[in-house]
Amino acid sequence: MAQIQVLYIAPNDEAIEQIVSALETAGPELSISHVDSASAALAVLETDPVDCLVADQLSSGETSAVVDAARSRTSTLPVVWVTDEPADRVVDSFDGHTEYVYKQELAEQGGLVAHRIRSVVGSATGSAVQDTDSEGQNTDSDSDVDSECTPAADSAAADTDEPATAATSEEIVDRSHAGILVFDSEGRITLLNPAAERILGLPAADAIGGTCEALDMRTESDESLPLSNRPVARVLESGQPVVDELVSIPTDGDRRWLSISASPLADGEAVDCVVVTLDDVSAEVELETTLETVLARMTDGFMAFDTDLRFTYCSTQAINPDRYPVDEVIGSKLSDLHPFLGQYEADLRAVLESQEAKTTETYIPEPTAAWYRARLYPSESGVSVFFREITEEKHRERELEQYQTIIESVRDGVCILDSTLDFAFVNDAFADLTGYPEAELLGANASLVTDSEKLRELDERRQQLFSGDDAAMLTGEIITESGQRLPVEAWMTPLWLPDGERGTVSVVRDISFRKQTEATFTALYDAAHDLLSARSTEEIAEIGVEAAASVLGFEDAIVLSYDEELNVFHSLAYTESAEAHLPAPLPISASDSSIAGRAFFDGELVATDDMSELPEAYNPETAYRRAMFVPFDEHGVLFVGDTETGTTTEQTRTVAELLGATLAAAFTRLSSERRSEANQQTLAERTAELETLAHTNELVEALGDRLFDASTREEVEEAVCSILTDFDRYSFAWIGAVESRTDTIVPRAAAGTEQGYLDWLADHIAEAGCGLVDEPTCRALTADSPVSVDRIARDWQDAPWQKEALSRGYQSALSVPLTHNGINHGILSIYAGTTTAFDEYTKTVLTEFARITAYVIASTETKQGLLTDQRTEVELELTDGDDVLSQLAARLGTQVVFEGFVPQSEHSLLYVSVTGVPTATVETVAAEIYGIERLRAVADRTEIAVFELAVSGPVLAATLVDCGAIPTEIETDGTCQRVVVTVPQTTDVRSFVDRLVAEYPSTTVVSRQDADRGVKTPETFQMELLDRLTQRQEETLQAAYFACYFDSPRGSTGTEVGHSLGISQPTFNHHLRAALKTVLTLLFEDAHNEPLDR
């Protein structure tokens, strides 16, 4: 609020100072000047502005003379009379804007007097002058309330017969937005205006004569306020005014907040009535509540202190409540929180005393070790502080200090243009900027240094300034004497020229440096943006070279990558002209003898105006002189160079360091992304491996459960196909066998989504032949090894089978031969609906499973052959056999007869008989044959000797079993082997022969004969016996039998047989007794079930 200049005219006495002090305290906007004589008052009126006269009676006529003189200058000058007379005797001969107060009110009721001064001044100036409390806060009391509500005023208006004045006062009260009530000395309402009716919800007819006791008036803490403690009762009791007391009353289901001020009116010492003003401050209270919420949500810290610099409020962003509980902080000082913080209380004290806001930036080492910017706002009740941490900002400021130093050192040009845009003044800096002499510029038009379009804009902005706008900032170009266009900015302010013309003064700054800096940082920003999406070190290097060439101002740029294994730098990218300037092809040594190595290992930029000044690291063959080596962390060095000497500015160094840091961040990001991708890939691979392992384990478990339960080959093959396709991974599986006569593959079992694929494949093989078809099944049969296709869709146009497979949803395939002991039992082909369904682990598992399947097929066929009642006896001849049996017969020159064999894991025990050859000769010849590891004579009968051979390598008897037959006779003279085998009718004889021919091409069939078995043959007995014997028991029993252990006399001792089996004699006896018990049990205990067919 503007100051009100008050001239107080009164004779000197002891109470003058007390009165002046009371008025200035009650009205801070009042400036009181006291004079004690009429002459002094007239002197002040001659020289100083006066807004109001407060006039005491000096002597007869003197005061009136002063008022007359004042009114002669300002007819509406307000006057407040100080009197001891009744109201009807107050001097009132002046027109309007006159008030009066009693002398005793000057010192005792300063607030009332200040209110009347403001009221009369407001009435004179035609605007409301708001009341203020002792702290300068507006009370919004109506300016004429006192004169309206004071009984003396009412009496004066009535006695002096001035109805217009009374009517005006009543109108003011009625129209006031503030609620106004008058209470008599007993606390009853005698008057309330419409605003009070609206605020309190009390009709005047109901309120007049009442006490407002029915109103539920409550305090700020929501406690009920009894009638005796309400403002009117307290004013009546104490005679002291109540200012801005906050209470609430009920309204429409909510509560309305009121600010109540009550002033006593007295005629003498007793209070006759009380004037109460009401203001609805609900919005302000809500705003204050909202403000508290906002302060709690602010990211800035907020603290409030009282005049003793003690906390009255602190937000959680300002002080950590976990470390400093709020109830301990409120009421304490900064120094109470931490001794180091006590030094900042001086800033609070200075702001409080000066009542001027202040911004500080301070580093607080303890307890936060951070920079803060604080804004301190004073009031009469204390200091409010908003602050935030600016540590990062400070760090950035340090990085840009060198730029600020350059900018601050630039001298700006100053010029003054008159009303016609002619230069009226220029300084030396402006003349230097334009290139024109000062004498040539003065009097010349501004068009000399700018173009017409910019000149029109300049004139338009000047007119806006002349119309009252603030200073304007223009940007454009200055055209120098040489014709160069310099970018500038100008701050323009209006001023009056000495000749009375309107002109402007402009501060013109050359912003070429700024433009260049903006371009540099724009290029750096663009480079940084591009580096965010770079996906390779080469791409990062290319971007770095391009950025270096555009922002650093050197001829060449090279990005050197450090190779830690070789301790050298390799070039990743370079400018086109750099290749011609390099003294030798890269790589460059990273030792300390090279400048690049020094910059890299020290981690600091190395810049030189002339590289030849560094003889210890200078290569005379290089074309470069001025150069910089900028390290970018552990990744390498950025080199920039010129072929001429020169100076590198600090700005260029800083930009180079920023570019180096940007490159380092890009390389680090790429390395991190690659590590992350590698980790993700590894994790994905391991997850896939685990999933594959789980899938394979489930597959093996399912196959194991069903495979060994199958009793026929068909059941085995069907189980394999169905189990494979039960898994979602595989769409189709089938097993086929080769038909040698037609060179085709005959499907034996299939499961899954076939959709006619096998029919198409059969037709295709029939047309081209199996060996010429590149379908995986044919390729696997031809190569006798697994064949997989990870992506059938790749180059599908070149192979018909791929098109057919894709049309049925097959994406990958695997074909595995079913081979056991070198004998092929068919081919297993699997097709999946996804690509790469057969990784190396899966292929290994399925290949092993195919081998097991082949073994089960062979075992099943052998078992079927032993158990079947129908069989085929086939006699064969072989002339190309070179197994140990044929070699032994050839070298002995006599016939060797097969008696039996016992397969072992490392070797097999083969039992043969030889006629007419001494045992010593047989032993000598056997020792010379490769594959016979050991020979022992088992029995030496007349002319015939039986021998046990421990042999390794292929054995014809074992091959016959693997092909599906049971050998009954084998004899050879060394050139031809005669073989008789039993083939079960469940086994195709031609398939058996084909398998055998694959191993022994000279095989020929001599004869074949079908035969039936009885109810229980020795073979079925043998099969049942073998089912009951363990493997070790079977081996022991067979070895003992063929070694003539049961002959009398024995052909072998238990120790000898045990040695042949690789076990001790007690272990041999143990297994033999167990085997014999099983034989006798089967013979005697089961004899009644089925008689043996002897």
Least confident of 221-230, 364-373, 917-926, 1078-1087: 1078-1087
pLDDT of residue 87: 43
Give the chain's count of helices (H) and strands (E): 38, 39
Hey, what are 829's tokens? Answer: 């082909």
pLDDT in tens, 134-172: 444 444 443 333 433 433 334 333 344 444 444 456 667
CA atoms within a 13 Å half-sphere pointing along the CA-CB vector of 257: 16
Least confident of 72-81, 240-249, 384-393: 72-81
Q: Which residue has the tokens 């603290």?
A: 303
Q: How far apart are CA 268 and CA 264, in angstroms?
A: 12
For residue 127, pLDDT over 60 is answered with no
Instruction: Give mean pLDDT, residues 488-496.
Output: 89
For residue 479, pLDDT over 90 is answered with yes
Q: How far apart are CA 59 and CA 71, in angstroms?
A: 19
Q: Tell me phi and psi for residue 684, to 5 degrees.
A: -65, -40
Structure confidence at residue 227 as a pLDDT band (50, 70, 90): confident
pLDDT of residue 89: 46
Q: How far apart are CA 820 and CA 689, in angstroms?
A: 28
3-state secondary structure of 260: strand
pLDDT in tens, 848-881: 888 888 888 877 776 665 555 567 889 999 987 7
Q: Tell me phi and psi for residue 629, to 5 degrees.
A: -120, 115
pLDDT of residue 249: 86
Sorted by where each starts, the structural domains of the chain and their CATH numbers stand as: 1-138 (3.40.50.2300), 298-399 (3.30.450.20), 404-510 (3.30.450.20), 516-675 (3.30.450.40), 708-862 (3.30.450.40), 868-1012 (no CATH), 1014-1094 (1.10.10.10)
Residue 759: C-alpha distances to residues 162, 747, 749, 766, 1089 (Å): 128, 10, 13, 11, 50
Structure confidence at residue 916 as a pLDDT band (50, 70, 90): confident
Residue among 473, 476, 501, 495 at smallest CA distance from 486: 476
Instruction: Give mean pLDDT, residues 110-128.
Output: 69
Residue 726: C-alpha distances to residues 699, 702, 752 (Å): 9, 10, 8
Q: How far apart are CA 949 and CA 947, in angstroms?
A: 6
CA atoms within a 13 Å half-sphere pointing along the CA-CB vector of 723: 25
Q: Which residues pair with 829 in a beta bridge?
A: 734, 815
DSSP codes of every residue in 386-405: EEEE-HHHHHHHHHTHHHHH
Average per-residue pLDDT in the chain? 81
Between 94 and 467, the more confident residue is 467
Hey, what are 153's tokens? Answer: 């005023």
Burial tier of 322 (Cβ tally within 10 Å: 0-12, 13-18, 19+): exposed
Residue 990: C-alpha distances to residues 221, 823, 853, 880 (Å): 110, 14, 21, 20
Q: Tell me phi and psi for residue 14, to 5 degrees.
A: -65, -20
For residue 481, pLDDT over 70 is answered with yes
Q: Which residue has the tokens 């005669």?
A: 978
DSSP-derived secondary structure letter, 945: E
pLDDT in tens, 317-342: 888 888 888 888 899 998 888 888 88
Is the pTM higher than 0.75? The answer reads no
pLDDT in tens, 823-848: 778 899 999 999 988 888 888 888 88
pLDDT of residue 812: 94
pLDDT of residue 998: 79
CA atoms within a 13 Å half-sphere pointing along the CA-CB vector of 116: 26
3-state secondary structure of 1048: coil
Q: Tell me phi and psi for residue 278, to 5 degrees.
A: -120, 135
pLDDT in tens, 720-770: 898 888 877 889 999 988 775 566 788 989 999 888 998 888 888 877 666
Q: How far apart are CA 709 and CA 697, in angstroms?
A: 18
Q: Are 721 and 735 in contact (CB under 8 A)?
A: yes
pLDDT of residue 145: 38
CA atoms within a 13 Å half-sphere pointing along the CA-CB vector of 742: 11
DSSP codes of every residue in 807-830: HTT--EEEEEEEEETTEEEEEEEE
Q: Are 181 and 278 in contact (CB under 8 A)?
A: yes
pLDDT in tens, 551-580: 888 888 999 988 888 888 888 888 888 877
Least confident of 78-87, 249-258, 925-934: 78-87
Residue among 126, 98, 117, 101 at smallest CA distance from 30: 117
Instruction: Give mean pLDDT, residues 269-282.
Output: 85
pLDDT of residue 980: 92
For residue 704, pLDDT over 90 is answered with no
Least confident of 321-335, 570-584, 995-1009, 1063-1077: 570-584
Highest mean pLDDT among 45-59, 86-100, 444-458: 444-458
Instruction: Give mean pLDDT, residues 921-948.
Output: 86
Q: How far apart are CA 1053 and CA 1063, in angstroms?
A: 13
Q: For 763-879, where are the E strands, in sequence order? A: 787-789, 812-820, 823-832, 870-878
In the sheet that 179-184 helps form, which strands lie side by side, from edge to edge? 189-192, 179-184, 271-280, 254-266, 242-251
Q: Are 971 and 896 in contact (CB under 8 A)?
A: yes
pLDDT in tens, 951-984: 987 788 888 887 778 888 899 988 899 999 888 7
Between 760 and 59, the more confident residue is 760
Burial tier of 828 (Cβ tally within 10 Å: 0-12, 13-18, 19+): buried
Q: Are 959 and 862 in contact (CB under 8 A)?
A: no
For residue 294, pLDDT over 80 is answered with no
Q: How far apart are CA 723 and CA 713, in angstroms?
A: 15
pLDDT of residue 816: 93
For residue 1035, pLDDT over 80 is answered with yes
Q: Residues in the chain, how many?
A: 1094
pLDDT in tens, 791-809: 998 888 778 888 889 999 9
For residue 403, pLDDT over 50 is answered with no
Longest dimension (CA), the chain: 183
Q: Which residue has the tokens 């700054």?
A: 509
3-state secondary structure of 483: coil
